[in-house]
Amino acid sequence: MSWLPANWSTRIYALLLLVLALAPFIFTWIGQPFYLDLLSRALILAIAVISLNLILGFGGMVSLGHAAYIGIGAYSVGIPSYYDYYNGWLHLALALTVSAVFALVTGAISLRTRGVYFIMITMAFSQMVYFTFLSLEEYGADDGLVIYSRSEFPEFISMEGATGLYYWIFALLLASLYFVHRLVHARFGRVIVGSKYNEQRMQALGFNTYRYRLVCYVISAMMCSLAGMLLGNFTSFISPDMIGWARSGELIFMVIIGGVGTLFGPLVGTIAFVVLEEALSAITIYWHLIFGIMLVALVLYGKGGIHGWLSLLDRKEEDRG
Amino acid sequence: MDWNLLISQLMNGLQLGLLLFLLASGLTLIFGIMDFINLSHGSFYMIGAYFCGTVVAYTGSFVLGVLIGLVGVFIVGALVEWFIARKLYREDHLDHVLVTFGLILIFDTLVHLLWGASGIAIPLPDVLNGQITLGNLVVPTYRLLIIVAGLLVAAILYILVAKTRLGMLIRAGASNRTMVEALGININRLFLFVFALGAAMAGLAGMLIAPITEASIGMGNDIIIVAFVVVIIGGIGSVKGAFYAAMILGLIDTLSRSYLDALLGLAMPSEYSETAAPALSAMLIYILMAAVLAFRPQGLFPPAGAK
């Protein structure tokens, strides 16, 4: 069967993508359209987690403030909509520009620091965004903002309806995966990965690593704001709560469940997180306890996340072959 | 200018600063000596408040509540160090963030399981419930007690860290851990003690604030971030730095909340300053931290000889 992908993990990921592509039909067929909502949310978050993994997994930049960019993306839909501007291209342009500018300024400062200082300074900047939106009385402050209509893309593919939005999300997810895949295998990506392991060496090779890392940070922020824009459209209700530091913590959590610095890890990690959250919270109101124990156990004993476990299959295969 | 308002705001700032110091001093030692990021330090703050509240509910004595609560949090801190933190000192900072994030979830849910979803109020004894008149200024007795207790603990901690053999080891550990180990000090025991002591001080902060705000789930999750800001600004591992930074932040936070509005009003129309002031005053401490990190990453008062 030479047409099959070479190893088990790739086969499983290919199957996963196929299922995701057909999901709206599958869920209608089994009569559970609610699941599409769940999956839409998971895939939106997956885009954010993929963007975080780009800097965290490949670049070694642990940001505890990435939820800020989700917030920026979401409010880029919410605030224009508040003034009855529903043009999706406007929302998109706003999300990308504001996140890029904010990431450029804060990244330029943050990347002067290392390690734990970077964690703390990114958290500080996201708190600033959080308090900014919290204080905007005009846009609901802590009560949040209701978005009455989705972004409109005239003479383009509509976001209306659950299925329409789902395919928007799915297409952007595929684009993010492909983009990150190309990026980390390009020269740019090799420099980023190289400076994670040995920055001095990369500098000795003549690379201005600071500039590379900054560009990478800005790219990641812009990708994350796309997720925010989708989330604003999906939930049709946004609030500063989306930006709190615990949200950023959850994003890191999703990267770790899936597998740090891998292409598909963030996707499977996010789906696992969202599904577990939904399933556990249906069983007991104390589901955070199980979640917390899992998180501790995962770090102490389960290195490599889901991707790591799947690669174990591959290794067995190689042993046999 | 209303001088009474200014003085009472200064006292509020002092009170917030001292509570922050109680949280941050343990945090900065754990951070500086074990190189361990403990996001769940705020959980000790919460647990302290709940322990104290429970004992007060059974015995009616606030003093007993604080004493038993302190012992309880000390033990919880020691258990966390023994079973979890110890395994992680040599791991990545990312692992610390994740595990302690998990611990926050665990502690919050355990409190929910044991005490229910709504918070518990802690009644104060009548002696502390009154007010004291100083000149023409009326001050709630309890606020004065918080300030006195905070200053007292700060003094005790100063003596412990600066004047005792144990303190010498703690300072040495913050400057150069490997050297302390190489000189034959039982580093595990030192770590255990420092971790549990830090937990107890965080717990004390929770106990002191709970009669005002009541003990509630997740009460430590916001203030712990501010405590981290204190640690960074003061310099990781520096108790002295934590003290000054906590005072600065406490005063900045309180004073900006009451005066920034008027200050901005001088520069812009009042309808803008009324919106901008609360946002800016909430952000001020983060702006300060970002500035410190950008220009003086080692903090304002780094421990001597730390790299």
- The residue of B98, B257, B280 whose CB has the most chain A CBs within 10 angstroms, and thus the best one to mutate to test that interface, is B98
- Scanning A207-266 for CB atoms below 8 A from B yields 245-246, 249, 252-253, 256
How far apart CA B29 and CA B170 sit, in angstroms, is 8
Residue A53 reports pLDDT greater than 80: yes
Q: What φ, ψ does residue B37 adopt, rounded to 5°?
A: -90, 115
pLDDT band at B113 (very low <50, low <70, confident <90, very high): very high
Give residue A145's region: left, alpha or beta (phi > 0; psi -120 to 50).
Answer: beta
Q: State the smallest CA–CA distance between residue B50 and chain A in angstroms.
A: 18
Contact B85, B38 (CB under 8 A): yes
Q: Is the pLDDT of residue A117 over 70?
A: yes
- Cα–Cα distances (Å) from B43 to A7, A65, A90, B40, in that order, read 44, 21, 43, 5
Nearest CA in chain A to B282: A131
Report CB contact under 8 Å: B93, A116.
Answer: yes
The pLDDT, as a whole number, for residue A1 is 47
For the stretch B146-181, pLDDT in tens is 999 989 998 998 898 888 998 888 888 777 778 888
Record the tokens describing residue A177, joined without a space. 């995966």
Is residue A113 very low, low, confident or very high in pLDDT (cuts 50, 70, 90)? confident
The pLDDT, as a whole number, for residue B92 is: 84
A289 has a chain B CB within 8 A of its CB: yes
Inter-chain contact B293–A116, Cβ cutoff 8 Å?
no
Please report the pLDDT score of residue A153 as a whole number: 84
pLDDT surpassing 80 at residue B285: yes
Q: Number of H helices and number of E strands within chain B?
A: 12, 2
For an interface test with A, give the residue of B46, B101, B103 to mutate (most A CBs within 10 A).
B101
- pTM over 0.90? The answer is no
- Cα A287 to its chain centre, rounded Å, is 23
In this predicted structure, what is the pLDDT of residue A171?
94
Chain A CB within 8 Å of residue B114 CB: no
Average pLDDT over residues A228-245: 90
Say if CB B52 and CB B207 are below 8 A apart: yes
Q: Using CB atoms, which residue from B84, B94, B228 is nearest to A296? A: B84
The strand pairing partners of B215, in sequence order, are: B120
A144/B93 Cα distance (integer angstroms): 34
Per residue in A8-24, pLDDT (tens digit) is 888 888 889 999 988 88
The three-class DSSP label of residue A52 is helix
Q: How far apart are CA A152 and CA B101, in angstroms?
A: 39
Q: Could you give the CA distance from residue A73 to residue A68 in angstroms, rounded to a whole number?
A: 9
3-state secondary structure of B139: strand
Residues A135, B99: C-beta atoms closer than 8 Å? no
Band of the pLDDT at A318, cuts 50, 70, 90?
low
Arithmetic mean of pLDDT over chain B? 87
Mean pLDDT, range A100-104, rounded to an integer: 96
Q: Is the pLDDT of residue A4 over 70?
A: no
CB contact, 8 Å: B248 with chain A? no
Cα separation, B20 vs B227, in Å, equals 6
- State whether residue A134 sits within 8 Å of chain B by CB: yes
Q: What is the β-pairing status of strands A145-146 and A237-238? A: antiparallel
Does residue B307 surpass a pLDDT of 60?
no
Residue A294 has pLDDT above 70, yes or no: yes
* Inter-chain touch B108–A119, beta carbons under 8 Å: no
Among candidates A216, A223, A291, A227, which has minimal Cα distance to A253? A291
* Residue B279 clears pLDDT 80, i.e. is over it: no
Burial of A183 (0-12, 13-18, 19+ CB in 10 A): middle
Query: Taking a C-beta distance cutoff of 8 angstroms, is the pair A73, A226 a contact?
Result: yes
Residue A54's pLDDT is what? 95
Are A38 and A274 within 8 A, CB to CB?
A: yes
Residue A306 has pLDDT above 90, yes or no: no
Q: Do A113 and B294 touch (CB under 8 A)?
A: yes
Report which DSSP code applies to A4.
Answer: S
Question: Quick check: B294 pLDDT over 70?
Answer: yes
The predicted model gives A271-294 an average pLDDT of 89
Provide the sign of the torsion angle of the four alpha carbons B136, B139, B141, B143, taken in this order: negative
Does A83 score more than 70 pLDDT?
A: yes
Residue B9: pLDDT above 90? no
Sign of the torsion formed by the C-alpha atoms of A284, A288, A293 and A299: positive
> What's chain A's average pLDDT?
89
Q: What count of other Cβ atoms lies within 10 Å of the Cβ of residue B71?
A: 12
Contact between B109 and A252 using a beta-carbon 8 Å cutoff: no
Count contacts between A and B (CB, < 8 Å): 127
The whole-angstrom distance between A63's CA and the closest CA on chain B is 10
Q: Report, as an integer, the average pLDDT of A282-306.
A: 84
Whether A220 has a pLDDT exceeding 90, the answer reads: yes
For residue A245, list chain B residues with Cβ-Cβ distance below 8 A. Answer: 225
* Structure confidence at residue A316 (pLDDT): 66
Residue B118 contacts A where some CB pair is shorter than 8 Å: no
A257: nearest CA partner in chain B? B98
Q: Which of B11, B21, B7 is nearest to B198 (CA)?
A: B21
CB contact under 8 A, A131 and B282: yes
Flag if A132 and B232 touch (Cβ within 8 Å): no
B252's tokens: 């900045």
Nearest CB to B93; choose among A115, A127, A298: A115
pLDDT band for position A320 (cuts 50, 70, 90): low
Mean pLDDT of A184-211: 92
Q: What is the pLDDT of residues B57-110, one digit of tens each?
A: 999 888 999 999 999 999 999 999 999 998 888 888 888 988 999 999 999 999
Across the interface, of A117, A253, A293, the residue whose CB is closest to B293 is A117
Which residues between 171 and 190 in chain A have a beta carbon less than 8 angstroms from any beta carbon of chain B?
Answer: none
Number of neighbours of residue B91 by Cβ within 10 angstroms: 15
Cβ distance B199 to B76 under 8 Å? yes
User: In the numeric block, which tokens belong to residue B177?
Assistant: 């851990």
Residues B128, B141 contacting (CB under 8 angstroms): yes
Per-residue tokens: B22: 């109680």
Cβ–Cβ below 8 Å for A295 and B105: yes
pLDDT at A321: 47
How far apart (Å, rounded) are the C-alpha atoms in residues A119 and A113?
A: 9
Give the closest-approach CA distance of B150 to chain A in angstroms: 26
Q: What is the mean pLDDT of residues B246-273?
A: 81
